Amino acid sequence: MEQPGPRRPRLAAKAAAAKIAADFECANNRTNAKRKAGATPRTARKTPLKGPGVNTVHTGSNRSSDEQVSENSVEDIGDETFDPRAKNVPRTESPRCKKRRAAQPAGMKVKVTTPRAKPAPAGAPAAAEEEDDSFPVPPKVQVGNSPVYLVDRRLGKGGFGQVFLGKRIPSKRLVNDPKPAQVALKFEHKSSKGCCANGNPYEWTVYSALGDTYGVPRMHFKGTEGDFNIMVMDLLGPSLWDLWSKEGQKLTEKYVACIAMEALQILEALHAKGWVHGDVKPENFLLGPPGTPQADKLYLVDLGLAMKYKDTRGAHVKYDQKPDDFRGTIRYASVHAHLGRTASRRDDLESLAYTLLFLLDGRLPWQGFQGDNKGFQVCRKKMGCSAEVLCKERTEPFRKFTEVVMSLKFDEDPKYAACIALFEPLVLTIPRPIACDSAIKVGQKRGRQEMAELDVGQKRGRQEMAELDVGADGQPRKRLRSGYPGCQWISVYNKHKPMKQRYHYNVGATRMEVHVKKGLSDGLFISAVGCAADLWALIMDAGTGFTAQIYKVSHNLFLPKEWIVEQWDAGFYITAVAGSTSHSALVVMSQGTKYTQQSYKVSDVFPFEWIKKKWRENFHITCIATAGSQWAVVMSRAAGYMAQCVELDFLYPSEGVHRRWDEGFRITGCAATPDQTALVLSKPRKAPADETQETLRTTTFPSQHVKDKWAKDLYLSGIAFGRTVS
Ligand SMILES: Nc1ncnc2c1ncn2[C@@H]1O[C@H](COP(=O)(O)OP(=O)(O)OP(=O)(O)O)[C@@H](O)[C@H]1O
């Protein structure tokens, strides 16, 4: 539910609040100034103005769950530590998507596909394959300077086009013409979503840019005829999917090892040109035409989702995450693709690992999910599967390869040669079902010099193999997916001049009032709240700048809309929210903020679409919370941020946080469900004097750690409990 424009009358809002909605938005559209003129509600009158209490050290309550400021300084236990002074962080840029947009021409095809249930059998006549959604194509074509091709049987069909066999019309004049006599003709209707603004398919741009690339068929001609964009390309044979079907829906390890080695060579060549494929799957690997010398050679087709990951100067595209931006095929997509992270080489390799395991086992553990939430469920399952679990029936090379590609960093150079070398022991015996000694073949074709280079490559492979366990930073590679999901406390600390801060945890609803009253009487306001196992955590300090504060614990109601609307009317804004597993909410509202307008949304899925809409309207996220698997996001105008982004993952998104920190973002909100962690990162309009920020993940409430941080003038700014480990 949304309330755009002027606020609705109170009665209407009340009626709407009475309706329990799983997914609704509520907005307060009055200005701060206007509201300040209004009456203060009963609860508010009881609350004091901000007390003195800055620069004091408070000691002692004797309640066990209460912890106070300590002057003891203990050595740093930093789990996630960042100090911009130490790292000399550049603070200038914010073109998060700039490079990505540049690498992604307008009109690029965007698709979400599931694998074909019944692939068209290779070699079957077009008439027998014809389905309802096929379109009639002209009997012959001539595009660009191409010869005339008769359109023969259909070879295949995808979401964007149909591919037909094209036979050149025999003519004495063309006897010595080197152009191929048989080609594949890919027809794409002009109205296809795969077409750019200029009306040409995006895929043409990629094929043109790639030119002659190892393992990629060549585009010979392109042009339009009637309603069709037509690409004339190398004729190829059956796909790996066809092969897998023909072989009884299982391929041997030797077969798949050959595929792995050759596919890695192809991907290395593609990546070397600055492109990632974006849709690696069995259907997109084709063999050469049957009966030709290329019949056992592997090719990679369908470049409609390919993306540039390097610019013309060789710089890697910038990291970004748009959690609702998924491209690819759900079954084979990398978890990073599911989570909407900028595509990079690691995604192709992770998809290749899933492709190989599918060809071996005939099934992946995340098959069978259905419905609107399929992408989320598949990704959650992927994150819960370690390489050991996925490869428990497989030999070491497959397990190792899967483990390595699962933990690649965003811009890490994959060690292709080492990965190829992993599979070598499986393909020693001859004959090999797929030509995988391509290094030798290519060497023979292209001469000694390149052969020597490939020898260097093979040497490099052995050396790199030893390095596979080492990440790009020279540190032993961390296994990101352990297969044992777990929840932890996430605590965030900001540098601040010495101030009084107090925390309470394991607080039952009945004890809340005592703590809050005591804090308020000491001049402290609630700055952050959290919840674990239906017990609340409360952070109160003297650095909020609030002038008055009220709170409410609503039982089995996430969030108490009617109460919030009333407090909005009285000039209070939501400044902290937490939710419990039983869907109770603790909502804190304060006066003295700079906000001019506020809006919130409760949703069963992470509401990124709504967040983006609000960002466009100059709102920024000022609170985020969860109750069970539900999310509540509060966004405010005049929040004091110039940019904001979100990191969402099925574990604590360390890599994303470090990249954002390097760009000048700092964590300004955190929340976690039993499945996912979300961190909100913002760039303040006015940078604080000291931007040091640290985060911790601990299985119990970090009571001792907080004291250690206080000793370094680091104060709790956010707290959440939920999924951090996969
Ligand atoms: N060069 C080729 N030679 C022979 N068959 C081909 C060739 N290119 C594609 N095909 C066949 O046509 C099918 C569809 O081609 P392609 O994947 O390029 O189309 P698409 O519409 O972009 O598909 P998708 O929906 O998977 O993106 C392939 O799966 C394959 O069976």
Give the DSSP letter string of 452-467: HHHHHHHHHHHHHHHH
Does residue 169 have a pLDDT over 90?
no
Check: CB of residue 571 under 8 Å from CB of residue 32. Answer: yes
Phi, psi of 247 (to 5 degrees): -90, 20
Spatial distance between the Cα atoms of 82 and 220, rounded to a whole number of angstroms = 52
- Across the chain, mean pLDDT equals 80
The residue ranking higher by pLDDT, 55 or 36, is 36
Ligand 1 pocket test, candidate residues 108, 114, 155, 228, most atoms within 8 A of CB: 155
Phi, psi of 681 (to 5 degrees): -120, 135
Tokens of 106: 């307008």
ipTM > 0.95? Answer: yes
Q: Of all residues in the chain, what percent carry a pLDDT higher than 90?
A: 62
Partners of 681 in beta bridges? 645, 667
Does residue 507 have a pLDDT over 80?
yes
Residue 331 host element (H or E):
none
Does residue 104 have a pLDDT over 70?
no
Partners of 554 in beta bridges? 585
Does residue 111 have a pLDDT over 90?
no
The per-residue pLDDT for range 434-481, each reduced to its tens digit, is 887 764 343 334 334 433 443 444 455 556 655 555 555 555 556 567
Q: Please give the distance, rounded to the nearest whole angstrom, from the Cα atom of residue 431 to the centre of ligand 1.
A: 28
Binding site, annotated residues for ATP:
186
The Cα-based distances of 339 to 137, 382, 650 in angstroms read 38, 12, 9
Return the pLDDT at 629.
Answer: 93
Q: What is the mean pLDDT of residues 691-702?
A: 94
Spatial distance between the Cα atoms of 166 and 186, rounded to a whole number of angstroms = 10
Q: How many CB atoms lie within 10 A of CB 353?
A: 24
Residues with active-site annotation: 279
* Minimal-distance CA residue to ligand 1 atom 11: 156
193-222 burial, b for 16+ CB within 10 Å, e for fewer?
Answer: ebbbeeebbbbbbbbeebeebbbbbebbbb
Spatial distance between the Cα atoms of 121 and 136, rounded to a whole number of angstroms = 20
Flag whether the pTM goes above 0.90.
no
State the residue for tokens 């190792």: 400
Question: Lowest mean pLDDT: which of 151-160, 169-178, 210-219, 607-616?
Answer: 169-178
* Minimal-distance CA residue to ligand 1 atom 19: 158
* Minimal-distance CA residue to ligand 1 atom 24: 158
Question: Which of ligand 1's atoms lies nearest the C-alpha of 286?
Answer: 30
Q: How far is CA 331 from the centre of its chain?
A: 15
Spatial distance between the Cα atoms of 274 and 166, rounded to a whole number of angstroms = 31
Question: Which of ligand 1's atoms lies nearest the C-alpha of 305?
Answer: 27
What radius of gyration do the chain's Cα atoms show? Answer: 30
Residue 406 host element (H or E):
helix 396-406
What single DSSP character describes residue 588? E
Q: How many residues does the chain have?
A: 726
Spatial distance between the Cα atoms of 255 and 360, rounded to a whole number of angstroms = 9
Return the pLDDT at 463.
Answer: 61
The per-residue pLDDT for range 239-294, each reduced to its tens digit, is 999 999 999 999 999 999 999 999 999 999 999 999 999 999 999 999 999 999 99
Check: CB of residue 235 under 8 Å from CB of residue 123. Answer: no
Query: 328-329 and 112-113: which strand pairing?
Result: parallel
Long-range contacts of 433-436 (CB under 8 A, 24+ apart): 433/254, 433/255, 433/258, 433/296, 434/255, 434/258, 434/259, 434/262, 434/287, 434/296, 434/297, 434/298, 435/258, 435/262, 435/296, 435/297, 435/298, 436/257, 436/258, 436/259, 436/261, 436/262
Return the pLDDT at 50.
Answer: 27
Phi, psi of 109 (to 5 degrees): -70, 135
Question: Which of ligand 1's atoms lies nearest the C-alpha of 281?
Answer: 26
What sign does the dihedral 204-208-212-213 (CA atoms) show? negative
Q: What is the mean pLDDT of residues 329-338?
A: 97
Does residue 396 have a pLDDT over 80?
yes
Check: CB of residue 649 under 8 Å from CB of residue 636. Answer: no
Largest Cα span, the chain: 102
| Residue among 338, 344, 328 nearest 378 (CA) | 338
Spatial distance between the Cα atoms of 208 and 301, rounded to a whole number of angstroms = 14
Check: CB of residue 183 under 8 Å from CB of residue 234. Answer: yes
Spatial distance between the Cα atoms of 508 and 511, rounded to a whole number of angstroms = 5
443 Cβ below 6 A of ligand 1: no
The per-residue pLDDT for range 561-591, each reduced to its tens digit, is 999 999 999 999 999 999 999 999 999 999 9
The per-residue pLDDT for range 589-621, each reduced to its tens digit, is 999 999 999 999 999 999 999 999 999 999 999
Spatial distance between the Cα atoms of 346 and 324, rounded to a whole number of angstroms = 20
Return the pLDDT at 429.
Answer: 83
The Cα-based distances of 148 to 19, 125, 135, 141 in angstroms read 67, 21, 21, 6
* Minimal-distance CA residue to ligand 1 atom 23: 158
Q: Which residues contact 408 (CB under 8 A, 6 or more apart)?
A: 345, 346, 349, 350, 414
Q: Please give the distance, rounded to the nearest whole angstrom, from the Cα atom of residue 404 to the centre of ligand 1.
A: 30
